[in-house]
Structure 1
Amino acid sequence: MPSSTSRRAVLRGRFTEREVPRPPGSGASFAEACTGCGDCARACPEGIIRRDADGLPVVDVREGACTFCGSCTRACAAEALQPASPWMWRAEAGAGCLDMNGIQCRACEDFCDSASIRFRPLTGGRAQPVIDRDSCTGCGACVAPCPAGTLHLTPLTPETRPC
């Protein structure tokens, strides 16, 4: 995952940090606006918002998917979460995908409600997962059922953002 440097990280002596998915509605100034109160985590009906080492909320889709219900945004008294901010995360498969290694699986495809995951046949009975970034919502429903643990959310960059 890409590294970025937030003002909070620099003040704590960490000049590069791995970017992590913050709750839907988090924008560029989220780290400065968030008080770490935990209201968003308590409001999340899916129970997928956790705290990182700094006490800030992160979305952990290893246990379930985000339904984008807006409960976390409505619960944020500090207004660090804004309803108009787009969710800038999408699913990505790693090289350890079972299908890429000749073991038929496709669990991620079965759990993808937006039908954003397809498999391109390769030689030798293998298949490559192809995730359509235009239709993928980044909900993470595909992450937890992956038996190889190779699916994860990755941030959209200017080069990868859908039109």
Structure 2
Amino acid sequence: MTQSINHSRRSLFSRRKSNAIRPPWVREDIEFTDMCTRCSACITACETKIIIKGDAGFPEVSFTNNECTFCTLCAKSCPENIFDLTQPAWHYKAYVQETCLTNHGIWCQSCKDACEPRAINFVFSIGQAPSPHIDVDLCNGCGACVAPCPSQAIHIKLPTE
């Protein structure tokens, strides 16, 4: 009985893994929610307004309406030691889901048109709509391809997710 009570108490305080995309340049050696004071400085500074107040008031990135320009304003505005501009912005990449219109025979290239690093190309096949291919080496995870997608088929995530 005591063992199950202790296990229950531990589970109350265990960290819940968040799938939230944190702002770029967040230090990889910290637990973001331990260091962030939720002051909203990065949210206010974000020039494209993709940093929003997420779960429990912590900043997270939403590509619903715009993209990250990697302007560094979020990192420079933070009063805490959360950001490191000497490391890569992040490791997120764009991935196309099964809901892509091309999988249903509809010709669409809105994601390619929005992709500035030209990481999205289309593969042509006889008798089918061209299908998107994302070069993960070129993709910087900016999210420019997300909002224009009419079927919400593009998701930004870590390569291991």
TM-score normalised to structure 2 length: 0.84
State the SS of the aligned residue for 1:88: coil
Q: CA RMSD in A?
A: 1.9
Q: Distance in 2 between matches of 1:83 and 1:143?
A: 25
Match of 2:109 in 1: 106
| Aligned 1:1-163 pairs, distance under 5 A | 15=16, 17-28=17-28, 29=30, 30-86=32-88, 87-122=90-125, 124-157=127-160
Structure with greater Cα Rg: 2
Length, aligned pairs only: 148
Residues in 1 aligned to 2:136 and 2:12: alpha-carbon distance in whole angstroms: 34
Deviation at 1:13, TM superposition (A): 5.5
1:124 to partner: Cα distance: 3.5
**Residues 103 and 77 from structure 1, CA distance in 2 versus in 1: closer, same or farther, beyond 3 angstroms?**
same
Instruction: Spell out structure 1 runs of 4+ moving beyond 3 A.
Output: 10-15
More helix by share: 2
Contact 1:24 1:85 in 2 (8 A): no
Do the aligned residues in 2 keep the contact of 1:99 with 1:105 (CA within 8 Å)? yes
Structure 1 gap segments, 5+ residues each: 1-9
**TM-score, normalised to structure 1's length?**
0.83
Cα shift at 1:122: 3.6
Contact 1:61 1:140 in 2 (8 A): yes
